[in-house]
Amino acid sequence: MNDLQPNSVLRASGLVKHFGHVVALDGADFELLSGEILAVIGDNGAGKSTLIKALSGALIPDEGEIYLNGALVHFHNPLDARRMGIETVYQDLAVAPALNIMENIFLGREIRRAGILGSLLRMLDKQRMMDDTIRYMSDLKIGIQSMSQPVGTLSGGQRQGVAVARSAAFAQNVVIMDEPTAALGVKESRMVVELIRQVRTRGLPVILISHNMPLVFELADRIHIQRLGRRVAVIRPDEYSMADAVAIMTGAKEVESAH
Amino acid sequence: MSDALVHERPQSGWQRSRAGVAHFLTLPGVGPLLALLIAMLFFATQTDKFFTGRNFSLVVQQVIVVGTLAIGQTLIILTAGIDLSNGMVMALGSVIMASLAVEFGVPPVFAILIGLAITTAFGILNGSLVALVKLPPFIVTLGTLNIAYAITRIYRTTTISNLPTTITFLGNTFTLGETAITYGSVVMLVIYLIAWFILRETSWGRHVYAVGDNPEATRLAGISTTRLLISVYGAAGFIYGIAGLLLIARTQVGDPQAGQTANLDSITAVVLGGTSLFGGRGNVLGTLIGALIVGVFRNGLQLMGIPSMYQVLVTGILVILAVSVDQFSHRGQA
Ligand SMILES: Nc1ncnc2c1ncn2[C@@H]1O[C@H](COP(=O)(O)OP(=O)(O)O)[C@@H](O)[C@H]1O
Ligand SMILES: [Mg+2]
């Protein structure tokens, strides 16, 4: 294993998580470096989502440690991770369809009005949140006519855009995306690829969980391969082929701990 | 602000204006408001006793108690819950207020506060069972309905009269033009406005919608859905206590038999007002309109001399229509 590198943003070692008899994580290691897009791939049930949930505070691992910028952290809930600058776009997006775009972006982080209207009457500063929303969305070049549209009326790609914009707006350290193109068509997937690039351009490292090999090989700087609840390899897309990656993923090929 | 606004297909003028009308009709409250206006027009053509200030004041009188209960019911239904216990909780609260003041000599203001505390406690109990024990709201409130009913009837079976004026004060009237208006109706309207403001303008209000719409997303957004749900049911319980006070003011007695159909009546008002039983969509002012629709139908049919069972029949049909619209539009959304 590598020692602590100076540019390690998020690192985990020996993560274990049981669900009853199922071992979802079986001593998984993980490392994300600054400024990179790290893809996480693996077969169904390899523990990708569980790994991501542990890193984002959505579940608490039974064993193992997580380090953020070199410091040991304990996340008890998603809010803990968010407070430390880790934002997640969940596989099922976790948006509220009846709420509008602005409300979804600011859900749980609403801005109150200044003065007595905010402190006593607890009124929200909708104008300011709306202005910020328009800025976040146009920063990522997401074209939507009205930010007061319910998210339920958007296309899949646009919804993804809202979820990504929310994460990118508030993330200080890491953006995590679980299967961001799983539910999308070809054209909308291209839009998401652009989104992910935009996020990296802003200097945020991205963890990208995906089944979509061409997407992974196009975007990722490094690829973490998960198998049976562990990290079995970390490869660079320019040194390995997609066929190699799939072979490692399914256990047909072994890699000597090459990171 | 208007860069990169692509992706939308251009629409013809016709499409846009048709979409505009459709949009207007789906604005919260517009459908129920139209239904209310049509019903009023209809009854105005049927009987000339209908369209008078005095009769409107009467309709509002008849709507106050259920209308107030329906505010709490709206909060709960917005979270995708339901409350079957509210009528019985209200009855318990009102009997306790009346009994303490009349039979135990408790100063009326304290009697009222104790009654409010008890209905709020019932709300918190409901909320805790829903949020902490994760039982379905339907079952929880069916249980507490029976508990509240039993406690009320064990406590006493006969009505309490000769209430002090402090407790029945809200039944007093003032006149506006020629029309006598009770303070109780003003109280109901004020609670509607407060609820409307809170739901629209505060984080708590927006979280009520969010948790009904997608509880998991709300949790992942870092909101304590447990605390939120308990506070919603608790607030509803408090409102039921006020409904109990309005009930006493209207009937001038504490009645252990009161409120037996109020749960379904309040749900009817909420649904007719356009709030979705699936949670996350709706508007508390719609509920006020929903309550008035029921009131206007009952009153209008009565003025036309139609037997009361037909009024119940019509209410039932209206509810099914409203739920169908809800179901239909929800399917369209998802
Ligand atoms: N909440 C849960 N309860 C029970 N089993 C779970 C739960 N979450 C995941 N699992 C199980 O853990 C294993 C890993 O799941 P997951 O992390 O979702 O894998 P992946 O995202 O790689 O497909 C699977 O066998 C899955 O069925
Ligand atoms: Mg998964």
Residue pLDDT, tens place only, B71-124: 999 999 999 999 999 999 999 999 999 999 999 999 999 999 999 999 999 999
CB nearest to A124's CB, from B3, B202, B218: B202
* Cβ-Cβ contacts under 8 Å, A108 against chain B: 207, 218, 221-223
Shortest alpha-carbon distance between residue A178 and chain B (Å) = 14
The ipTM, to two decimals, is 0.84
CB contact under 8 A, A110 and B7: no
DSSP-derived secondary structure letter, A4: P
Mean pLDDT of B165-186: 90
Tally of domains in chain A? 1
Q: Which residue has the higher pLDDT, B205 or A199?
A: B205
Segment among A123-132, B27-36, B242-251 with least mean pLDDT: B27-36
> Is pLDDT at A177 greater than 60 in this prediction?
yes
Shortest alpha-carbon distance between residue B321 and chain A (Å) = 22
A180 lines ligand 1 (CB under 6 A): no
Residues 203-242 of B with CB under 8 A from A: 203-204, 206-207, 209-210, 213-214, 216-223
* Number of CB atoms found within 10 A of residue A158's CB: 20
CB contact under 8 A, A94 and B8: no
- Cα–Cα distance, B302 to B50 (Å, whole number): 10
- Cα–Cα distance, A93 to A178 (Å, whole number): 9
Which residue's CA is the closest to the ligand 1 atom numbered 16? A47
CB contact under 8 A, B1 and A134: yes
pLDDT at A181: 82
Mean pLDDT of A217-230: 95
- With the C-alpha atoms ordered B164, B166, B168, B173, is the resulting torsion angle positive or negative? positive
CB nearest to B222's CB, from A99, A103, A108: A108
CB contact under 8 A, B206 and A138: no
Taking the domains of chain B in order of start, what are their residue ranges?
Answer: 31-327
A206: in domain? yes
Residue of A15, A19, A92 to test ligand 1 pocket, by largest number of atoms within 8 Å of CB: A19
What value does the mean pLDDT of chain B take?
Answer: 90
Residue of A44, A50, A62 to test ligand 1 pocket, by largest number of atoms within 8 Å of CB: A50
The CATH class that applies to domain B31-327 reads mainly alpha
Residue B160: C-alpha distances to residues B90, B94, B155, B317 (Å): 15, 10, 12, 36
Q: What is the pLDDT of residues B190-232, one digit of tens each?
A: 999 999 999 999 999 999 999 999 999 999 888 999 999 999 9
At B25, the pLDDT band (50, 70, 90 cuts) reads low
pLDDT at B312: 84
- Cα–Cα distance, A1 to B236 (Å, whole number): 57
Q: Which atom of ligand 1 is nearest to the CA of A209?
A: 21
At A141, the pLDDT band (50, 70, 90 cuts) reads confident
CB contact under 8 A, B280 and A88: no
At A1, the pLDDT band (50, 70, 90 cuts) reads very low
pLDDT at B27: 65
CB nearest to B8's CB, from A98, A145, A152: A145
Q: Which residue has the higher pLDDT, A244 or B222?
A: A244
Residue A219: C-alpha distances to residues A31, A209, B110 (Å): 17, 12, 68
Domain around A218: 8-250
pLDDT at B23: 66
Segment among A43-52, A152-161, A166-175, B248-257 with least mean pLDDT: A152-161
Q: Which atom of ligand 1 is nearest to the CA of A17?
A: 12
- Cα–Cα distance, A252 to A244 (Å, whole number): 9
A256: in domain? no
Q: Which atom of ligand 1 is nearest to the CA of A46?
A: 22
A255: in domain? no
- With the C-alpha atoms ordered B105, B110, B113, B118, is the resulting torsion angle positive or negative? negative
* Cβ-Cβ contacts under 8 Å, A88 against chain B: 220
Closest-approach residue (CA) in chain B for A89: B220
- Cα–Cα distance, A224 to B258 (Å, whole number): 66
pLDDT at B334: 44
DSSP-derived secondary structure letter, A77: S
Q: Which residue has the higher pLDDT, A103 or B179?
A: A103
Query: Of B147, B152, B146, B142, whose CA–CA distance to B93 is shortest?
Result: B152
A105: in domain? yes
**Radius of gyration for the alpha carbons in chain A, expressed in angstroms and rounded:** 19
CB contact under 8 A, A77 and B281: no
pLDDT at A93: 66
**CA B314–ligand 1 middle distance (angstroms):** 51
> Is pLDDT at A2 greater than 60 in this prediction?
no
Check: CB of residue B237 under 8 Å from CB of residue B123: yes
Mean pLDDT of A240-254: 92
Give the domain CATH number at A117.
3.40.50.300
Shortest alpha-carbon distance between residue B35 and chain A (Å) = 24
pLDDT at A257: 54
Retrieve residue A249's tokens.
């993923």
Mean pLDDT of B132-145: 97
pLDDT at B22: 66
pLDDT at B15: 59
Which residue's CA is the closest to the ligand 1 atom numbered 18? A49
A257: in domain? no
Q: Which residue has the higher pLDDT, B97 or A259?
A: B97
Q: What DSSP assignment string belongs to A29-44?
A: EEEEETT-EEEEEE-T
**CA A49–ligand 1 middle distance (angstroms):** 7
| Nearest ligand atom owner, CA of A53 | 1
Which residue's CA is the closest to the ligand 1 atom numbered 8? A50
Query: Of B232, B227, B234, whose CA–CA distance to B209 is shortest?
Result: B232
Mean pLDDT of A26-55: 95
